[in-house]
Amino acid sequence: MRQVRQASRPNAGPLPASKSRTGFVREEISMKTNDTENCDGTNESNSHLTRRAFLATTAASSAAVLTGGLASLLRPASAFAKKTSGSFVEASIPDLQALMASGALSSKDLVKGYLDRIASLNPLLHAVIETNPNAVSIAAHLDNERRKGQLRGPLHGIPILVKDNIATDDNMQTTAGSLALVNSRVPGDAVIINRLRAAGAIILGKANLGEWANFRGNINVFPLAVGWSARGGNTINAYDLSYTSWGSSSGSGAGAAANLCSVAVGTETDGSITGPSAVENIFGLKPTLGLVSQDGIIPICHQQDTAGPMGRSVTDVAILLGGLQSPFGEAIGHTLPNNYTQFLQRGALDGARIGRDVRYFDYSYYGSGIPGDEETVAFAEHALDVMQSLGAEIVDTDTGDVFAYADDEFTALLFEFKVQIAEYLATLTHSNMHTLADLIAFNIAHCPEELVYYGQEVFEAAEATSGDLTDPVYLAARTHARNTARAGIDNALAADNLDAIVAPHLTNSTGPAVAGYPNFSMPVGVRASGRPAGMLVYSTFLHEPQLIGFAYDLEQELKARVQPQFLGSIIPVPNAGLCEDLPKKPHVFTGKAHLPHGRIF
| Model pLDDT, residue 597 | 57
Residue-wise DSSP of 515-552: HT--EEEEEEEE-TTS-EEEEEEE-STT-HHHHHHHHH
Residue 69 lies in a domain: no
CB 295 within 8 A of CB 528: no
Give the residue with greater pLDDT, 63 vs 135: 135
In percent, the amount of the chain with pLDDT more than 90 equals: 81
Those residues whose C-beta lies under 8 Å from the C-beta of residue 68, and which sit 6 or more positions away, are: none
Compute and round to an integer the Cα radius of gyration of the chain.
22
Residue tagged active-site, from 106, 107, 163, 521: 163
pLDDT at 225 over 70: yes
CB 474 within 8 A of CB 465: yes
The closest of 46, 551, 509, 564 to 254, measured between CA atoms, is 564
CB 205 within 8 A of CB 135: yes
- Number of domains, the chain: 1
Task: Phi first, then psi: give them for residue 346, nearest 5 degrees.
Answer: -65, 145
- Cα–Cα dist 93/141, whole Å: 19
**Residue 444: how many CB atoms within 10 A of its CB?**
17
| Distance linking the first and last C-alpha atoms of the chain | 37
The closest of 51, 96, 53, 58 to 74, measured between CA atoms, is 96
CB 184 within 8 A of CB 242: no
- Residue 272 among the catalytic residues: yes
Those residues whose C-beta lies under 8 Å from the C-beta of residue 389, and which sit 6 or more positions away, are: 557
The closest of 306, 208, 212, 225 to 260, measured between CA atoms, is 208
- Residue 559 among the catalytic residues: no
- Cα–Cα dist 450/525, whole Å: 36
The closest of 237, 230, 253, 226 to 129, measured between CA atoms, is 230
CB 111 within 8 A of CB 39: yes
Helix, coil or strand: residue 113: helix
pLDDT at 44 over 90: no
Residue 309 lies in a domain: yes
| Model pLDDT, residue 591 | 65
- Residue 277 among the catalytic residues: no
- DSSP letter for 189, please: B
The closest of 340, 331, 281, 290 to 310, measured between CA atoms, is 281
Which residue type, as a one-letter code, is found at position 23?
G
The closest of 321, 112, 39, 323 to 201, measured between CA atoms, is 323
Residue ranges making up the domain that contains 461? 5-12+76-569
Alpha helices for 126-171 (secondary structure H) = 135-147
Query: Long-range contacts: 172-175, Cβ < 8 Å, 24+?
Result: 172/41, 172/130, 172/132, 172/133, 172/203, 172/205, 172/206, 173/129, 173/130, 173/206, 173/231, 174/206, 174/298, 175/129, 175/231
pLDDT at 282 over 80: yes
Which residue type, as a one-letter code, is found at position 554?
L
Q: If you average pLDDT over every residue of the chain, what do you get?
A: 88
The closest of 284, 359, 271, 358 to 324, measured between CA atoms, is 284
Residue 586 lies in a domain: no
| Model pLDDT, residue 601 | 84
Average pLDDT on 464-469 reads 96
- Cα–Cα dist 80/91, whole Å: 9
Tens of pLDDT, residue by residue over 507-528, are 999 999 999 999 999 999 999 9
Residue 340 lies in a domain: yes
- Cα–Cα dist 89/59, whole Å: 6
Tens of pLDDT, residue by residue over 138-160, are 999 999 999 999 999 999 999 99
- Cα–Cα dist 228/46, whole Å: 14
pLDDT band at 598 (very low <50, low <70, confident <90, very high): low
Average pLDDT on 484-499 reads 98
Residue 44 lies in a domain: no
Give the residue with greater pLDDT, 73 vs 100: 100
Report the C-alpha dihedral over residues 451, 513, 521, 208, rounded to 10 degrees. 30
Residue tagged active-site, from 272, 293, 313, 509: 272
- DSSP letter for 273, please: T
pLDDT band at 319 (very low <50, low <70, confident <90, very high): very high
In percent, the amount of the chain with pLDDT more than 70 equals: 83
| Model pLDDT, residue 338 | 93
CB 131 within 8 A of CB 118: yes
Those residues whose C-beta lies under 8 Å from the C-beta of residue 470, and which sit 6 or more positions away, are: none
pLDDT at 60 over 90: no
Average pLDDT on 251-273 reads 98
Average pLDDT on 295-299 reads 98
Residue 502's CATH number = 3.90.1300.10
Residue 49 lies in a domain: no
Residue tagged active-site, from 61, 62, 106, 248: 248
pLDDT at 12 over 60: no
Residue 349 lies in a domain: yes
- Cα–Cα dist 107/140, whole Å: 7
| Model pLDDT, residue 172 | 98
Those residues whose C-beta lies under 8 Å from the C-beta of residue 483, and which sit 6 or more positions away, are: 14
- Cα–Cα dist 155/322, whole Å: 10
Residue 600 lies in a domain: no
Tens of pLDDT, residue by residue over 180-223, are 999 999 999 999 999 999 999 999 999 999 999 999 999 989 99
- Cα–Cα dist 299/305, whole Å: 7
Average pLDDT on 382-404 reads 98
CB 478 within 8 A of CB 419: no
